[in-house]
Amino acid sequence: MQALDKALAQVGRVVLGKQEQLKLALACMLAGGHLLIEDLPGMGKTTLAHALARVFRLDYRRVQFTSDMLPADILGVSVFDPDSGAFNLREGPVFSQLLLADEINRATPKTQGALLEAMEERQVTLDGLTRPLPEPFFVVATQNPVTQAGTFVLPESQLDRFLMRISLGYPAPEVEMELLAGGDLRDAVRRLKPVIEPSGLVKLVAHVGKVRATRDLLDYVQRLLEATRADDRLVAGLSPRAGLGLLRAARAWALIHDRDYVLPEDVQAVWPSVAEHRLQPREGGSVAAMTQSLLQTVPVVRG
Amino acid sequence: MARIYQVPSHARLWLTLAIIAASLPQLSDGPWWQAVLLVVVLGWRALLDRQRLAQPGRLVRLGLLLATVGATFYSFGRLHGPEAGSALITSLFALKYLELVGKRDAYVLIVLGYFVCATILLFHRGPLAALYVVGCLTLLTASLAGINYSDTHARRRQHLTVASAMLLQALPLAVVLFVLVPRVAPLWNMQLDSGQARTGMSDSMSPGQVSRLTESSELAFRVQFQGTPPPPDQRYWRGLTYAYFDGTTWRQARPPGWSDADTFYDGRGPAPPWYRGLRAADRGPAWEYRVIMEPSQQRWLYALAVPFTDLDGQGLARDLRLVADNPVSGSYGYQVRSVPAAAEGLDLNGPERRLMLDLPDTGNRRARDLAASWRQRYRDDRELVQAALRYFREQPFHYTLEPPRLSGDTVDGFLFNTRRGFCEHYASSFTFLMRAAGIPARVVAGYQGGEPNGDYLQIRQYDAHAWTEVWLNGRWVRVDPTGAVAPERIELGLRGLVEGRADAGGDAVAGALGRLPVLFRVQQWMDYVDFNWQKWVLGYRQEDQRALIERLLGAFTPTRVALALLGAVLLVTAVLAVLVLARRRDAPARPLEREFARLRRGLARRGLNVADCHSAAALEAAAARRWPGAAGRAGHWRRYFEYLAYRRDGDPPAGELRQLRRRRRALMAGLKA
Amino acid sequence: MVKNAWQRWLDRRLPRARQVQLDQRRIFILPTGYGVLYLIVAVLLFFGGVNYENNLILALCFLMVSLFVVAILHTFRNLSGLMLRAGGGRSGFVGGQGSLEVVLIARRRPHRALWLRWLDQAAQEVSVESGEETGLWLNLPLRRRGPVVPPRLRVESRYPLGLLRAWSLVALDQECLAWPRPQESADCPAEGGDRERRVARAGQSGSEEFRGLRGYVPGDSLSQVDWKGYARGRGLNVKLFEEPASGRLWLRYDRTDELPLEQRLSILCYWVLRLSRENRPFALALPGAELPPGQGDEQRQRALDLLARHGKGG
C-alpha cells in the first residue's frame, strides 16, 4: 500500500535506522492497539510518537507522568461553576487522538489504572458523566526499564492492554553519526508532511480486520498459543485475548506488506513484540529467548 | 431412610431389564411362586423409587429370605442340586434388587446376575438360548457401565453402546479361549435329573401294545460319516438287544451266573477274552462316523454293528452295543468305527447259547408247530431262515402303524389271525419262530435309516425299528422280517413309506411329519444349524480339541497347547489393544500438509535437513542457498503453496493439488541434475 | 525410608511439570475388589461348566474373562491421552484451605468419571468430553505459612466397568500461598496515620481523594492552588480534596512487639485485613521488602502475599 510506505518513509526520516520498530509501531496502530515502548530516556521514543501523529495528522498530546500526578490530570476534572452551581467536566489530555504517556511507570498505580481503564474502554466516566474518547484513539506509553528507582511497576494485568511492546535501543554507529550530523530532530518532526488523514486511518484499521487468515494459518497461531501454555519455563501461557491480538497484529503486518492475506512470516514478525510483555519467566531468564525458542519449535505446517 | 440412591437414574433401566431378562427363563422352568416373587419385587421397587413405599426393614427382608428358602425346599425337596440351586439363586437375585441402595449393592446384584445367566445355560442349550444369554450379558454390562458413570449428563443409550462394543471386542478372545483352553475332566459327578421322560427306546418290548414311538418326529441322534455313508438298507443303528421272552414281553437279559466283566468292558482294567476276540477279528471294511445323541436319559448308545470306540465315557457290551458311563442327559457326541466283519470274533456257548434259545414252556402252540415243520424240511439253518422270510413275504401280512390289539398268545394271534403290525410284531414273532426251530436268535432294537441333511444324517424317533439277529455259521447275522413284508420301509424309511400311502388313503402320521415343503425346508435348515451348534459348540470335547491341535500344530503336547494358547491370547489381545488404544491424531493431516511434509522429506533425502518450524518461504530460502540453480523452481513452488494455504480458504481441489505436486517434482528433479 | 524411596522413584519417573499428558509410563492399573469378585465368579463358572460338561457355561466363563481383558484396555484408554495442566491458585489463611485449579484437556477422546484428589484429600469426580477443557478447583489444607506445593495429584478412573482401577500420580508444577493466620491485637503496629496526617501535603501521596476545583478565594493556602492549570491559562483555582478517613499508614514489622516471627506476621495480617475492611489506605514494611501505599482489594492481596512469602525465599 503506497500511502503506508510513504508514511513509513516519512517517519523514517526522523527515527533513523529503526525500520523494523517503525513498522511494528505502525502495525500496532493499524491493528487498533496501544503501544508500549520500553527504553532508557533519550532513545527517540517521543520523536517516534510525535512523528506518527504528524504523518496521520492526529491530535497529539504528551503527558509526562510523575509520582504526584493524579487521575484527574489525565482524565480531566469537574470544575465548579459558581453561576450554575454545578460541576462541569473539563477534559484532560486523554481526550486526544494520540496520547503519548511518557514514563508511565513513574505514576502511582492509581493514576496508571485510570489511564489504562480509559484505554481499554475508550471512554471516560467522571462523576457519573460518561464521555467517549475520540476516534481514532491511540496511546503510546513509554516506560523506563523497571530497575530504575522511584518507579511503580505496571501490573501484569495492565500490560495485557498494550498490544505490543517494543524497544528502540541504541542506534547503529553509522546511524548515530548521521544523527549527530543532522541537527535538531524536533524541527525535522515539525516539517513532516501528513500522509494519511485520520479518517483514512480509521478506514485502514477497519480494513485490517478483512485481511484473510486461512485455516492453515489459524492452526499455526493456535499451536503457538498452545506452546506457551505448555511451556514449563513460563508462569502462565498466553490468554485467548492475547491470541486475538497476535492475529490482529499479524494482519496489520500483512497489510503493511501490501498483502490481503496473512503468512506465517507475518505472525513470526509480530510475535516477540506481542508475546514477550505478556509472559513471565518462572525462574528468571530472558523471556525474549523463550519466545524465540518457541518460534523455533512450533511447526509452521503440521505434518 | 436418608440413604442416597447412588445408582444413577440413567443406569436403572438397564439394571431392571437385566434382572427381568435373566430371571425369565427360570420363571418358565421353575415353580410358580418365583414369578409371583419377581412381580412383587419389581412392583415394590417401582413404588420405592417413586417414594411411595419405604425400603423394607431388616425383619421383612429376613422374612422374605426365609420364605424363599422354604418355598424352594417345598418345591424341590432340597436346596442343593442344579434345579433347586438355580431357583434359589434366581430368587435371591430378585430379593437383592429390593435391597438395592448403593453402588455396592448394584455390584453384588450384577455379579449375581452373571451367575443367574449360567443357570439358564444349565437347562437351555440351543443357539437361541446362547443368544439370549448374550443379550442378558449385554444388559448386565450396560448396567455396570451405567453405575460407573455417575455424571448426570450421561445418556442411557451410551451405556448400551459401550457394553455392546466391549462384548463384541471380547468375542474373538473368548473364541480363542473356548477352542484352546484344555478341557479338564469333571472333578466330581453331577447329574441333571430333569425328570423329563423322553420318547425313545425302552428297555423292554411288548408287541401288541401300540407304540407311539413312530409318531414322533423328534430327533434321536445325528451321524456324520467320514467318507460316504452306507446305503439306507445298511443303516441299522443298534441300541439294545432283547434276549428273554416271557410270552408277551421281550427284555434285556444276560446268561445266569455271568458277571459284568463277562458281558461288558468299559476300558478299565484288563480286557476280557471276548473283547480281545472281537479286537482280533477287527479287519475288513469299516465305517467311521461321529454320532451326536440328543438327551435320552438312558445309557445306551446307537451304532452300526460291531462298534469300536476309544472307550472313553462309554463301553462295549458283549451283545455288540455301546453303553455310556452315565445316562445321556445333554447332547452327547462320540466317535465310532464300525467293523461288520469283527462279528466273527464272538462265540456262543453254554449258558449264553441256552439263553438265546430260551422260550416260555407253554403258549403259542401254532407257531411252535410251524417252526417244527420247517425244521423237519430244512436241515440247513440258512435255508430255514430263507423259508421263514418267504413265509412272511408270501402270506398276506400287512405293514401298518395302527395294528389291532392282541392278547393271550400274541405271537400266534399275530402270525395266524391279524397279520397286521409293524416292526416289533415282525421281529418278535420271527425271533420266536427261530428259537422254536432251534436257531439262537434275539431281538435288536434301535433305529433304521436316517435322512441326509447337509453332510450328516438325521435319525428321528419315527425311524425307530426292531429286527432280529440269528446265529448262523458262528456269527450273528441280521435278519429283518419287516423288510420282507414292506421292503420300502427299509429303502425309503418310514417317511417315504407314509408319504406314499398318504397319497392314496391319508394317514394320521402324515400330519406329524409336516407336509408343507417350505416348512420342511425351514425345519431342515434349522436342524442344520442346530446340528453344527451341537457338533462344534456343545459337543466340542477333549477329543475334538486334541484333533484340532494335532491338525494345527502337529502334535498334542502340554507345551504346545500352552504355547498355542499363550500365543493366540497375546496375538488377539495385541490386535485388540491396537484397535482400542489407536492413537488418533488430533486430526488427520490434510492434503496440503502432506504435500509440505513430502517436500521436507525429499529435501532431507538430498541432505538438506529443514526443521519443521520453517515456513514455506524459509524452505525456499534454504533450498535456494544450497542449490542456487533451483532458486527459481523453489520460488515457483513456494508461491503456489502459499497461494493454496494462505490465500484461499478450504482444502484445495484435486487439480490444484496436482499442480502443486508437479511443481514439487520439478523442484526435486532440478536438484538431482 | 520406603516411603522416601518411593517418592524419589516417583519424582524420577514422573517429574513435576506444568502440563502432563498421561501415557503408559504414567498409568498404573490393577483390578478393584469387584474385579476380583468378578474373576472369582468366572472361575466358579469354569468349574461348573467342567463338572456339568456344559460347554455353554464354559463359553460364558471365557466371555467374562475376555470382557475383563477388554475392560483393562478400556480402563487404560480412559486415562491415556488425558492432558492435565496447572491452572490458577487461590490462597488462604493458615489453618484454612487454599485451592488450586487443575485444567483437564481431552484431546482425542472423552475421559469419563475421573476422580481427582491430592493424595490425602477427598476426591472430586469430573468428566471431559472429547475436544473439551474443564477446570477443577481442588481444595488444599494450609498447614504452614508460605508457598504451598500440593502433594501428588491422584487421577483415578474405573470407567467403564468398575472392574479395574487405573490411576496416575501427577505432580503439577503449581502452588498457592498460605497467608499467616490473623491474630488480633489492640495496638496498630504502624507509623504515620492520624498523628502525622497534617504533614502529608496535598497531592503527594495519591491517597487523598481529589474532588475538583473551585475558584480561588483570598485566604486559601497557596500550596493548594492549581498552579499547573493557572499556567495553562485556566484561571486561579484551588484544588479541593476530600479528606480520607485517615492518613497513610505504614504497617511496620519492627513496630510489632517482640514476639516470634509467625506471631508478628499474624498481627500484621490482622491489621492488613482490618484496614482493608475499613477501606483505609496503608503501606507495609517488612525487613527486606516493602509495599507502597494503596488501598482496595489489590493492595490487600499484595500485602497478604508479601506476608506469606516473607522469609520463604521468593
Looking at CA atoms only, how far is residue C73 from chain B in angstroms? 6
Domain end, chosen from B530, B555, B581, is at B581
pLDDT band at B271 (very low <50, low <70, confident <90, very high): confident
Q: Are B386 and B394 in contact (CB under 8 A)?
A: no
Q: Please indicate, yes or no, if residue B3 is contained in any of the structural domains.
A: no
Distance (Å) of CA A188 to CA A10, A14, A60, C170, C186? 10, 7, 17, 62, 65
Taking the Cβ of residue A152 and every Cβ of chain C, the question of whether any pair is shorter than 8 Å is answered with: yes
Same structural domain for residues B475 and B556?
A: no
What pLDDT is attached to residue A122?
86
| pLDDT attached to residue B672 | 63
Taking only the tens place, the pLDDT of each residue in B237-248 is: 998 888 888 888
Query: Coil, helix or strand for A16?
Result: coil
Could you tell me the CA-to-CA distances from A278 to A143, A154, A253 in Å, in that order?
A: 15, 11, 20
**Residue range B255-278: mean pLDDT, rounded:** 84
What is d(CA C309, CA C314) in angstroms, rounded to the nearest whole number?
6
B549 shares its domain with B626 = no
Greatest mean pLDDT among A269-273, B596-600, C146-150: A269-273
Q: Taking residues B280-299, what's their average pLDDT?
A: 86
* Predicted confidence (pLDDT) at residue B532 exceeds the cutoff of 50: yes
CA gap C239, B64 in Å, rounded: 91
Grid cell at residue A196 = 494519511
Residue B613 to residue A265, Cβ atoms within 8 A: no
**Mean pLDDT calculated for residue range B517-522:** 72
Helix, coil or strand: residue B478: strand
* ipTM at complex level: 0.86
Question: Is the minimum CB–CB distance between A216 and chain B shorter than 8 Å?
Answer: yes
Chain B residues within an 8 Å CB radius of C34: 107, 111
* Mean pLDDT within B321-344: 86
B199 within domain boundaries: no
Q: Decide the pairing of beta strands A98-102 and A60-64.
A: parallel
The fraction of chain B above a pLDDT of 70, given in percent, is: 89
Contacts of A29 (CB under 8 A, 6+ apart): A35, A52, A56, A136, A138, A201, A205, A252
Domain count, chain B: 4
Closest residue in chain C to residue A112, using alpha carbons only: C206
In this predicted structure, what is the pLDDT of residue B585? Answer: 53
Distance from CA of A78 to the nearest CA of C (A): 5
Per mean pLDDT, which range of B143-152, B503-512, C43-52, C174-183 is the poorest? B503-512
On whether any CB of chain C is under 8 Å from the CB of A77, the answer is yes
Q: Which chains touch C (3 or more CB pairs under 8 A)?
A: A, B
Judge whether residue C58 has pLDDT over 60: yes
Please write the tens of the pLDDT for every residue from A245-271.
999 999 999 999 989 999 999 999 999
* C-alpha–C-alpha distance, residues B218 and B447, integer Å: 13
Cα separation, C261 vs B530, in Å, equals 87
Would you tell me how many other CB atoms lie within 10 Å of the CB of residue A93?
16
CA distance to partner chain B, nearest, from residue C116 (Å): 15
B195 pLDDT above the threshold of 60: no
Nearest in space to B650 (alpha carbons), one of B597, B602, B591:
B591
What is the Cα–Cα distance from B571 to B579, expressed in whole angstroms? Answer: 12
Answer whether B475's CB lies under 8 Å from B344's CB: yes
User: Of residues A192 and C107, which shows the higher confidence score?
Assistant: A192
Specify the pLDDT at position C218.
64
Could you tell me if residue B662 is inside a domain?
yes
pLDDT of residue B223 exceeding 80, the answer is yes
Rounded Cα distance between C303 and C277, Å, is 13
Q: Within this chain, do residues B547 and B601 fall inside the same structural domain, yes or no? A: no
Instruction: With a cut of 70, say whether residue C292 has pLDDT above it.
Output: yes
Same domain, B530 and B549: no
For residue A40, what pLDDT is reported? 80
Helix (H, G, I), strand (E, B) or coil at B191: coil
* Res B502: pLDDT: 41
Which chains reach chain B with 3 or more Cβ–Cβ distances below 8 angstroms?
Answer: A, C
* pLDDT at residue B586, rounded to an integer: 54
> Are residues B547 and B533 part of one domain?
no
Predicted confidence at residue B583, as pLDDT, reads 60
Which tops the pLDDT comparison, A157 or C284?
C284
Specify whether B520 is located in the same domain as B558. Answer: no
Same domain flag for B564 and B613:
no
pLDDT digit string (tens) for C112-125?
889 998 877 788 88
For an interface test with B, the pick among C24, C43, C60, C128 (most B C-beta atoms closer than 10 Å) comes out as C60
Same domain, B176 and B130: yes
Report the Cα B410 to chain-centroid distance in Å: 42
User: Where are chain C's structural domains?
Assistant: 2-179, 180-202+248-314, 209-242
pLDDT confidence band for B504 (50 / 70 / 90): very low
Residue of B117, B153, B540 with shortest CB distance to C55: B540
Do residues B461 and B446 share a domain? Answer: yes
Looking at residue A150, its pLDDT comes to: 59
Distance (Å, rounded) from C-alpha C35 to C-alpha B144?
11
User: pLDDT per residue over B90-114, tens digit each?
Assistant: 888 888 888 877 788 888 888 889 8
In a domain, B416, yes or no: yes
Cβ separation of C206 and A77 shorter than 8 Å?
Answer: no
Q: What CATH class is the domain A2-205? A: alpha beta
Is the distance from CB of B482 to CB of B399 less than 8 angstroms? yes
Residue A147 is predicted with a pLDDT of: 55
Instruction: Indicate the domain borders of chain A.
Output: 2-205, 209-297
The band of A235, judged by pLDDT with boundaries at 50, 70 and 90, is: confident
- Please give the pLDDT value at position A172: 80
User: B592 CB near a chain A CB, below 8 Å?
Assistant: yes
Name the grid cell of A48: 517516534
Residues of A in contact with C17 (CB under 8 A): 232
Contacts 24+ apart (CB under 8 A), B179-185: B179/B540, B179/B545, B179/B548, B180/B545, B180/B549, B180/B561, B180/B564, B180/B565, B180/B568, B181/B565, B181/C58, B181/C62, B182/B542, B182/B545, B182/B561, B183/B541, B183/B542, B183/B545, B183/C50, B183/C58, B184/C50, B185/C50
Of all residues in chain C, the one with the smallest CA distance to A76 is C212
Q: How confident is the model at residue C200 (pLDDT cuts 50, 70, 90)?
A: very low
Mean pLDDT computed over B268-274: 86
Q: What are phi and psi of C291, to 5 degrees?
A: -120, 120
Average model confidence (pLDDT) across chain A: 85
- For residue C234, which residues of chain A lie inside 8 Å, CB to CB? 90
Please answer whether residues A7 and A56 qualify as being in contact, where contact means their C-beta atoms are separated by less than 8 angstroms.
Answer: yes
Contact C85 A110 (CB under 8 A): no
pLDDT of residue B192 exceeding 50: no
A70 and A93 Cβ atoms separated by less than 8 Å: no
Among the partner-chain residues B107, B150, B576, the one whose CB lies closest to the CB of C125 is B150
Mean per-residue pLDDT for B506-523? 55
Mean pLDDT for all residues in chain C: 80
Residue B250 binned pLDDT confidence (cut-offs 50, 70, 90): confident
Looking at residue C209, its pLDDT comes to 53
Place of cell 480286557: B271
B441 pLDDT tier (thresholds 50, 70, 90): very high
Residue of C nearest to A92 (CA): C229
What pLDDT score was predicted for residue B573?
92
Residues B354 and B493 in one domain: yes
Per-residue pLDDT at B550: 82
State whether B151 and C60 contact (CB < 8 Å). no
Share of chain A above pLDDT 70, in %: 93
Q: Residue for cell digits 494455504?
A: B645
The whole-number pLDDT of residue C201 equals 38
Per-residue pLDDT tens over the stretch B376-397? 999 898 999 999 999 988 888 8
The CA R_g of chain C, rounded to the nearest whole Å, is 31
pLDDT band at A280 (very low <50, low <70, confident <90, very high): confident
The mean per-residue pLDDT over the stretch A272-298 comes to 87
Homologous superfamily of domain range A209-297: Magnesium chelatase subunit I, C-Terminal domain (1.10.8.80)
Domain that holds residue B666: 591-672
Which pLDDT tens digit goes with each residue over B76-88? Answer: 877 777 788 888 8
* Of the listed ranges A207-221, B143-157, B159-173, the one predicted with least confidence: B143-157
Mean pLDDT of C12-28: 82
Q: What angle do CA B388, B392, B396 make, to 5 degrees?
A: 150
Q: How far, in Å, CA of C269 to CA of C180, rounded?
A: 6
Highest mean pLDDT pick, A21-30, B24-33, B484-493, B508-517: A21-30
Taking the Cβ of residue C292 and every Cβ of chain A, the question of whether any pair is shorter than 8 Å is answered with yes
A199 touches chain B (CB under 8 A): no
**Catalytic sites of B, residue numbers:** 423, 465, 480
**Is the per-residue pLDDT at C1 higher than 90?**
no
Given a contact cutoff of 8 angstroms between Cβ atoms, the answer to whether B437 and B377 are in contact is: no
Contact B401, B509 (CB under 8 A): yes
SS3 B469: strand
The model's pLDDT over A143-179, given as tens digits with 9 standing for 90+, comes to 877 555 556 667 777 788 899 999 888 888 888 888 7
> B454 φ, ψ to 5°?
65, -130
Touching check for C9 and chain A: CB below 8 Å?
A: no
A210 touches chain B (CB under 8 A): no
Burial, B476: exposed, middle or buried (Cβ in 10 Å; 0-12, 13-18, 19+)? Answer: buried
Cβ–Cβ gap B613/A300 under 8 Å: yes
Judged against a pLDDT cut of 90, whether residue C282 lies above it is answered with no
CB C284 within 8 A of CB C308: no
Of B183-197, B435-449, B563-577, which range is least confident? B183-197
Q: Is C213 touching A (CB cutoff 8 A)?
A: yes
Contact C85 A108 (CB under 8 A): no
Residue B355 and residue B226 in one domain: yes
Residue the block writes with cell 488377539: B572
- Distance from C-alpha of C74 to C-alpha of C113, rounded to nearest angstrom: 13
Do B163 and B39 share a structural domain? yes
Strand partners, A150: none
pLDDT band (50, 70, 90) for residue B509: very low
Q: At what angle do helices B9-29 and B127-147 cross, to 10 degrees?
A: 150
